[in-house]
Structure 1
Amino acid sequence: MIKGEKFMADKAIERKLTVYLILIILMFIFLVARLFFLQVVQAQEFEMQSRENRIRSLRIPARRGDILDRNGQVLATSKPVFSVSISSSLRGEEQEEVIRRLVEILNDPKITVETVKAKVKEHRPRYEPVEIKRIPWGTEAWEVITRIEERRAELPGVIIEAAPMRYYPNGSLAGHILGFIGQINEQELETYREYNYELNDKIGKTGLEKVFELWKDEPRIIGLRGRKGFRQVEVNVRDQIVRELPGAIAPVPGDSLILTLDIDLQRVLEDAMDEVIADIKEENPKAGAGAAVVLDVRTGAILAMASKPEMNPNDFVDGSYQEKKSYYNDPKLRPAFNRVVQGTYPPGSTFKPITAMAALEAGLDPSFTVNCTGRYWRPPYIKCWKPHGIVNLYQAIAVSCNTYFQEAGYRTGIDKIVQVAQEFGLGSKTGVQGILGEEAGILPSPQWKEEVVARTIQQRFQERRKKLEEVYTQKLMQATTYEERDRILEEQEQRMRQLNLEYQIQLNWEKKWHPYDTFNTAIGQGANSYTVIQLANYVATLANGGNRWRPYLVHQIVSPEGKVIKTFEPELLGQVSVSPETMAHVRRGMRAVTEPGGTAYFLFKDFPPELAVAAKTGTAQTGRSGDDPKKDFHGLFIAFAPADAPEIAFAGIIEYGGNGSSSAGKVARAVFAEYFGLQLEENVMTSDVVSE
């Protein structure tokens, strides 16, 4: 019995051992099969993956296209710089020591061990070097490179590469037009996602650099941005570059822009503005800003355009911005603000040619006269700057008589004045090509006043109602009896009725267009507010006989091979309905401005007759809070030349310039002299300057 049980137990153990043996054999067969599959069947695929894990594609930055003036002079280009970078794969003490040595060699107070370590830590992707500093080509660059190479053994992972850096050879000249580039931000990265931008890319931030970063010319995309190249490198397990591999793809430079701008004329314009502003600033410390633009009246091409204070695009790409941060962030100076298209100003007497055309179109004869005694005879009896006696249309334009133009506005009516102003583009954007942020300005009209004033008064009284409710809520909380509470509620209701009555009276009066609104509008005061580019385009339209062109800056886009791939032709926006006879009369009046007795005679009396200038001066109250309405005036000037066969038009403003002829007018003189190649005396006699 015992032997039988022992036999049965041995058999059971034998069966289990057999099962285990079979399982071991099956597992061994599976492992051998898997090993065969991996090492033989998929050997090629894994070899490829291994190779790919060692190979990295590094981008090669592309050179941006150049920006040239109409004569081929370079306004924006790219110059070589040396990029000093460090491998992000360094670790621990080695990284700390290399960074310390590199910071010591660079000797830049803005670059510390802490800032470099932070950069390395945040940098992605890990295999790409981290740029620490860009050094423009020159003595400093060679000295730094020499010091690094002398200590190369102590600086593993430090890389020096040549790269293109944006450069504006003329400094601040045309700075607002050109704009500048900077590192792309997250919002821009999202906006341009489809165009393969990366976090460390540079992108146009303002001006032409931004507008023509990428220009959609269906079905293609052209523009200043180039196409990056790529090179392949092999890295080790620490993501350190071991060697360069063949098969690099060269970068493709961006397309270049040829502008309508004449850089020599631009330089004269800016120098003249700087000189005039400096002179005026000695008398009025508030001065310091201005804007001016010169147009080809036959096409709308912008020949020169400047906004002051100046903005140097180099400051935003070469690291100078930090040193000048307070300058660029000054809320009064606002150097980055393009006053030509973004600033809106009262036009003053430069608006009077509009009133003159409206009056003539309404039936007023040029020989119609007004006796100016120094003040208009209709309330509110707005003054003229001096008694002019009896003046007709031509004389009124020449001496800028407020009395004449108030009466002309009264006889014409606001609707006709608004119609003519609209046809000449005032109160609406010009659509200028190549510039962002253009403002529309304000052309006042009965409809405009009703809408704007009603909204303003409503907001004002809502604030007053809110404050009244707060006062009585506080009183009710402090009431101790029902009788006192009832008295407070009755008082509140009475005060609210009074306030609502006052609101209705004020609303009905202020939203209504009154005769004095027409008088103010007719002489360029009141709510009139336009950009300098609008004033320039309106005078250009008057000069060329009624064709309103779209102002434009870019003439052609050229490929890196020098082939013209896009030409921008002049674009006619519209033609005015004002008769040629009417415009001729007004042009004749503007010609009288620069003749003996005119407000700008002293400026152009030495110009040859065939290059006579037609102009209109302007002196406008600033309308700014805190300014003295009797002392603080902007000086404005509009003009075209030659008077008999116009080629160019000018519009300019010098903030706090006072009289237009002795401020912006001097800038116009310098511009016209340069354009027509006149050699004139540098000092303009001002003894016979007149006011307005």
Structure 2
Amino acid sequence: MGDQEKENWKLKLSRRLNGYLVILIFIFILLTSRLFFLQIVNAQEFSKQSAENRIRINPIEARRGDILDRNGQVLATSQPVYVVTIRSMPNQDLDGVINNLSALLEDPELTPAAIKELIKNNPIRYRSTEIKRLPASDPVAIATVTRLEEHRQDLPGVNIIEEPQRYYPYGPLAGHLLGYVGQITQQELEDRKEENYGLNDKIGKSGIEAFLEYSNEGGREIGLRGKKGAEQVEVDAYNRKVRDLVTLPPTPGDTVQLTIDLKLQQTLEKAMDQVIAATKKKNPKAGGGAAVVLDVKTGAILAMASKPDMDPNDFVNGNYTRKQGYYNNPRLKPLFNRAIQGIYPPGSTFKPITAMAALDAGVVKPQDTIYDSGRYWKPGGITCWAVHGNVNLYRGMAVSCNTYFQWAGELAGIDKIDEVARQFGLGEPTGVIGLRGEAAGILPSPEWKKEINAPYWDRWLKNQEDRIEKKYAGLLAAAAPEEKSKLLEQKERELKQVKAEYQINYNFNTTWQPFNTYNTSIGQGDNNYTIIQLANYIATLANGGTRWRPYLVDKVIGADGSLKKQYHPEVAGRVTISQEAMAQVRQAMLEVTRASDGTASFLFRDFPPELQVAAKTGTAQTGLAGDDRNSDFYGLFVAFAPFDDPQIAIAVIIEYAQHGGDSAGVVARAVLAQYFGLTDILNKPFNGVSVE
């Protein structure tokens, strides 16, 4: 290589090196600029993002307040659970995480597809989705949590938090009056937008849980709902907590003490379960019933039951999904509180009302006697269930003579019967404190009959007239001119005939008839009342005429032990009928259990002689479409005790029982034995019922 070539080669090499140097300088300047931008210009923003990636603010659920019986026994509380959640994050292999989570949970129902569906249905995408709840007291659940923690590196975005979950230690016992909690709905969020509820919150849906969910009374918050807390924690790359930073503890909800007695409630429900099971063997339609037990001197509810059962635990532990067939049964309707929402014909339990009306009006005296030949002798009179011969008030009540009470009811008149029934609270909500959704029932009257039936017959007439107009419009359009006058005459005749038929039916069906009074007098016909109304009317009769407003809540106690609210007995009304009339009817009801042929004489023979029970049995036709009026009946029973100083009143219904005495009456017997501490009676079976 010559000198010239060497010089050319050196020149080319120099140029290349200079080019490389320029490129290196450019890259260095670019990197330096980028570093300056990251470290200086955006330092605060990236620092914030870094902190947000490792700092978490987690809400801490507040413990819901306990619900206690009158003696402090816990009926509803909260227990800790582990909640497994998943949060979708950028650049996360969600499918892989879901597959790992499903495998580690070892729950056949939580397949990857099922978990994806839960995430899909989450209303707020950026929030964590709840996957599973694991009771902290369950060894299997604890093992599952341990397994998840050991595989944290395979579960980015999965978090396990501990929070309180509602728990009802006695299962379905008193389920309808306690109620249940569930996920808040969009509508509930709207209704409570001023109360700081969130989309994932649980809220009381029925019973006491709903009644005392939350309220602000004069600036003071009252309710089972607590106030959430929050914790600020530092986490590592696997979302594991490294350390706590700041914690704001939650405030537990208030404790609610009820008026019910746990032992009395247990006795009531156990007796009802056994009687309903026995009734179902005789009539497959059976399965339902209701009962209410009241303190006659205050209106406090001592026990209340509705059958079939509703277990509030099912709505928080996931069992509801598996039991939807049961809860959605259209005939049994387990979620329906029959004690306050069901309306039933009272049957003969209404007869004390008729008796008081006749006595107070002065048209009947207790010793007035009539002869029962098995049917009331007037046109439209109703048969009696037996031939009783000579009967007066006391024997008429004891043997439940239909003839006697039709006679007394006709003499008193429907207006007087209605007046007395209204004074005792029948046909209108009792206003029970602690429960919502109470039905009004039906107290039939001449005004009610017209109000109910007149619109029906008005619609019937219009439909018939429209039918005739349509019929002749077609005929007239197709008729020859000479035929039209004849068709118009026919049309007028048909319209007159329809109007005449309407007038007859309208007058009959909107005007009170004697048979309406006969039916009402013995608790049949259109009479329909709730079981709590029947219990309250008997309590009012027992205490001499003071109608108390039934109440279920005694007091609300704050988390600090302070008394936040005390509920007191409230007078809803006082009857104006004479004390003498009420006294005579109470005496007649005593004969139901004391007379040898009384319809409930067999129930209390082994009770102590000083503990006398006044009662009335009832057997009522259901009045439901499809039921046999000769074989499908409801069994009812009302009572109060002791006779000489009443303390407790009870009303019970057993659906599709043939007789009130040997069905509902057996339940009342067990409840009264429990209330008065008659251990020997409780410990021995009676009519197939044993509540020891």
TM-score normalised over the length of structure 2: 0.88
Paired residue secondary structure (2:110): coil
Shift of 1:684: 3.2
Paired residue secondary structure (1:619): strand
Paired residue secondary structure (2:323): helix
| Cα distance in 1 between the residues matched to 2:332 and 2:687 | 30
Cα deviations across residues 623-659 of structure 1 (Å, max 9, x unaligned)?
Answer: 1111111111111110000011111000011111111
1:135 alignment counterpart: 134
| Cα distance in 2 between the residues matched to 1:290 and 1:468 | 49
Amino acid in structure 1 at the alignment position of 2:272: M
Amino acid in structure 2 at the alignment position of 1:190: E
Amino acid in structure 1 at the alignment position of 2:119: V
| Cα distance in 1 between the residues matched to 2:307 and 2:377 | 40
Q: CA RMSD in A?
A: 2.7
Cα deviations across residues 122-162 of structure 1 (Å, max 9, x unaligned)?
Answer: 54766643221111220221221232233232222222221
1:209 alignment counterpart: 209
Amino acid in structure 2 at the alignment position of 1:602: F
Shift of 1:455: 2.1
| Cα distance in 2 between the residues matched to 1:193 and 1:315 | 28
Shift of 1:79: 0.8
Shift of 1:456: 2.7
Paired residue secondary structure (2:602): helix
Which stretch of structure 1 is more off in the superposition, 587-596 or 82-91? 82-91
1:178 touches 1:208 (CA, 8 Å); kept in 2?
yes
Q: Does 1:225 align with 2:221?
A: no
| Cα distance in 2 between the residues matched to 1:324 and 1:475 | 59
Cα deviations across residues 594-627 of structure 1 (Å, max 9, x unaligned)?
Answer: 0122110000111112111000011111111111
Cα deviations across residues 320-341 of structure 1 (Å, max 9, x unaligned)?
Answer: 1111111111111101111111
CA 1:180–1:242 in 2, change beyond 3 Å: closer, same or farther?
closer
Shift of 1:119: 3.7
Q: Does 1:160 align with 2:160?
A: yes
Paired residue secondary structure (2:619): strand
2:289 alignment counterpart: 290
CA 1:519–1:216 in 2, change beyond 3 Å: closer, same or farther?
farther
1:682 alignment counterpart: 684
1:572 alignment counterpart: 571
CA 1:424–1:88 in 2, change beyond 3 Å: closer, same or farther?
same
2:184 touches 2:200 (CA, 8 Å); kept in 1?
yes
1:356 alignment counterpart: 355
Which stretch of structure 1 is more off in the superposition, 176-185 or 104-113? 104-113
Amino acid in structure 1 at the alignment position of 2:504: I
2:587 alignment counterpart: 588
| Cα distance in 2 between the residues matched to 1:559 and 1:612 | 42
Amino acid in structure 2 at the alignment position of 1:442: I
1:89 touches 1:126 (CA, 8 Å); kept in 2?
no
CA 1:584–1:494 in 2, change beyond 3 Å: closer, same or farther?
same
Q: Does 1:379 align with 2:348?
A: no
Paired residue secondary structure (1:537): helix
Which stretch of structure 1 is more off in the superposition, 262-271 or 677-686? 677-686
Shift of 1:385: 1.0
Which stretch of structure 1 is more off in the superposition, 552-561 or 54-63? 54-63
CA 1:81–1:44 in 2, change beyond 3 Å: closer, same or farther?
closer
Shift of 1:534: 0.3
Q: Does 1:448 align with 2:462?
A: no
| Cα distance in 2 between the residues matched to 1:631 and 1:475 | 51
Q: In the TM superposition, what are the counterparts of 1:85-484 in structure 2 within 5 Å?
A: 85-89=85-89, 91=91, 94-121=93-120, 123=122, 128-137=127-136, 138-233=138-233, 246-363=245-362, 364-468=364-468, 479=478, 481=480
2:20 alignment counterpart: none
2:80 touches 2:162 (CA, 8 Å); kept in 1?
yes
2:152 touches 2:240 (CA, 8 Å); kept in 1?
no
2:444 touches 2:526 (CA, 8 Å); kept in 1?
yes
Amino acid in structure 2 at the alignment position of 1:232: Q
Cα deviations across residues 434-477 of structure 1 (Å, max 9, x unaligned)?
Answer: 11111111111111112112123223444444555555566667
| Cα distance in 2 between the residues matched to 1:78 and 1:471 | 69
1:126 touches 1:239 (CA, 8 Å); kept in 2?
no
2:233 touches 2:246 (CA, 8 Å); kept in 1?
no
1:233 touches 1:241 (CA, 8 Å); kept in 2?
no
Shift of 1:501: 2.1
2:156 touches 2:238 (CA, 8 Å); kept in 1?
no
Cα deviations across residues 355-400 of structure 1 (Å, max 9, x unaligned)?
Answer: 1111111112111111111111111131111111111111111111
1:613 alignment counterpart: 613
TM-score normalised over the length of structure 1: 0.88
Amino acid in structure 2 at the alignment position of 1:569: H
CA 1:245–1:149 in 2, change beyond 3 Å: closer, same or farther?
closer
2:641 alignment counterpart: 641
Shift of 1:314: 0.9
| Cα distance in 1 between the residues matched to 2:559 and 2:94 | 41
1:20 alignment counterpart: none
1:58 touches 1:128 (CA, 8 Å); kept in 2?
no
Shift of 1:53: 9.5
1:75 touches 1:168 (CA, 8 Å); kept in 2?
yes
Paired residue secondary structure (1:278): helix
Cα deviations across residues 14-43 of structure 1 (Å, max 9, x unaligned)?
Answer: xxxxxxxxxxxxxxxxxxxxx99x989x99
Q: In the TM superposition, what are the counterparts of 1:509-528 in structure 2 within 5 Å?
A: 509-528=508-527
Paired residue secondary structure (1:387): coil
Percent identical across equivalent pairs? 56
2:631 alignment counterpart: 631
Amino acid in structure 1 at the alignment position of 2:115: V
Unmatched 5+ stretches in structure 1: 1-34, 687-692
1:547 touches 1:576 (CA, 8 Å); kept in 2?
yes
| Cα distance in 2 between the residues matched to 1:676 and 1:356 | 29
Amino acid in structure 2 at the alignment position of 1:684: F
Shift of 1:59: 1.3
Amino acid in structure 2 at the alignment position of 1:682: K
Amino acid in structure 2 at the alignment position of 1:626: G
Count of residues paired in the alignment = 647
| Cα distance in 2 between the residues matched to 1:58 and 1:580 | 65
CA 1:407–1:65 in 2, change beyond 3 Å: closer, same or farther?
same
| Cα distance in 2 between the residues matched to 1:406 and 1:635 | 21
| Cα distance in 2 between the residues matched to 1:345 and 1:124 | 43
Shift of 1:563: 2.3
CA 1:126–1:345 in 2, change beyond 3 Å: closer, same or farther?
closer
| Cα distance in 2 between the residues matched to 1:91 and 1:124 | 22
